[in-house]
Structure 1
Amino acid sequence: MKATFFDGKKITLDKNYPNPDLNETLVRVNLAGICGTDLEILDGYMQYNGILGHEFVGTVEKSDNPEMIGKRVVGEINAGCEKCDSCIKGLQRHCSNRTVLGILKRNGAFAELLSLPEKNLHVIPDSISDEQAVFVEPLAAAFEINEQVSLKPKWNVAVVGDGRLAQLIIQVIKLTCSNITCFGKHENKLEGLVQSGIKIKLGIESTDEQLFDLVVEATGSNSGFTDTMKLVKPRGIVVLKSTIASRENLDLTPTIINEITLIGSRCGLFKPAIDALATGKISVNSMIDSTFSLENFEDAINHAKKPDTLKVFLKP
């Protein structure tokens, strides 16, 4: 099969990469998305080598369950050992022996084929397009905030960042909270938020400091954490979404002084995300940028790195 392989330093196209040989469900990739985590891995995050990509939609080609063959699916990216305490409790995402699609000890979606356990796969209804389906994984990560924090409608909420994940988070929080401000750096990304009633700011002013009950950091940068700590109220809540390859130290002193609750937030359940897309509660169409063939993966990655780019797809 054709696949892009990352050796830890360089990513190349291999036209004769071995097909997945795991005893799992085999999926032919229809479309894959490039996300911030992929770009961080290329910069050294997770010290990963293999096939990148964890946002995808595909068609089942081989399965022990005949009813799955031919189904269009997306997949949860964490595969647990099914034996440890975390797995027994249903927390495969925190299994110490887990593999993670395109991130940890498991080849990902920037290829013609991938494999996952059947329990990780979710059938996508016809009302959701391939492009929309690719957003299920990051949208599930946005919905994870609802699982971790009991949102209050009257809260003053800030989201720091204006990229793909930040915009999904804003849509999810807006289902509960109406008073939301997005702090970003790219005016063209922020314009669409104004039409949906979101306040936007291109920088932090003194009047913004310690104003927000909840602040979600989704910038992918160390500076985003510093900005976040300026915005949150004493005894407020900060949700951290960024995975950052940088080794710079973060100053946690304000967290202690102001008694801030810090919550790390990663993957989420797929069902709320699929339901939200199918019912139209969440719209992702404005975030679709462009599609590149697998052979043009370098152009796709370079385009995805541009600060004003939203979702870029690879099509095997």
Structure 2
Amino acid sequence: MEEQKSPRFRKRETEVYVGNLPLDISEEEIRCLLKDFNPLHVHKIQNGCKCFAFVDLGSMQKVALAIQELNGRLFHKRKLYVNSNRRSPKKSPDVAERPQELPVLEKASGQGFARTTACAQFTPKASGDACVPEKPRTSVFAVPMEMRGSFLVLLLRECFRDLGWLATIHGIGGEVGLLVTSIVPQTPFFWAMHVTETLHQNMQALFGALAEAEEQQPYLHDLAVRRGTRCLAEYHLGEYGRAWNRCWVLDRVDSWAVVMFIDFGRSATIPVQSLRSLDSDDFWTIPPLTQPFMLEKGVLSSYQVIHHILKGKITGALNLESHILKFEEFK
């Protein structure tokens, strides 16, 4: 109750935690790091060999966006830990910088992860301790930032200009085959290609054109790489090799660019010097090959699912994110 009365507690939901900062960093440098989110206040804390900060961004929306764009990025050769400050940080050093979940926007159908109890199998207990399980609670999940409508509309408008084809998405239904290109760990959300004859034609035309363009398109000038830049980059397909793909720059940190691969539905951090120019509208006539989906039953929790075709049926769209279709897999 005392914590709820505290002004500091009421402000936490608009703050973002930034960990693993250099010891000699100034509050002004931290403010510059988050300049795209218009920080209101920066509170730097140095504890021994650890340095972190709490930054008030003014809204939960900016907090979620900052987490999406900065968490795991390199800054002064350090991997940043950026997460929400909705809970007080743990005092124990091994968990002080552990990322927390994004705000929950959607409740997933089905059970999701195993419901939590006080008897978690990974929690060591002294012999003889009584283990009384808590009442099970329904699992909830957050819609990943790269799948939220406001983010996607911004990205798609920058890349494709004409979004007339978006109206056809709501007409998709019934039995389908989905080629999974990317999954979001510990959530039921994933990106997939809706396998159709049109998709095969678009894939052949697009990847053929990009393969030819790779040798002809010049590398981007350093100053040209900024948020919203349309470009060409190499996408790693794991054991399947590599492919050049259309991408959009989400953010830039020093000599690294955070990009979204349009046709695979996946973000990555790559060197700025490896980006090639691809701004001509001729390369953006084919709509993105992937689309976001949510599995209605069960959770896609393994990267082994990527590059597999899931067979099932589309049963509708999410209420809050109408561009994300609900998919039920045939067992």
Same fold (TM over 0.5): no
Question: Per chain length, whose mean CA-contact separation is higher, i.e. which structure has more relative contact order (CA < 8 Å, sep 6+)?
Answer: 1
- Asked which structure has the greater CA Rg, the reply is 2
Report the TM-score, using the length of structure 2 for normalisation.
Answer: 0.29
Report the TM-score, using the length of structure 1 for normalisation.
Answer: 0.30
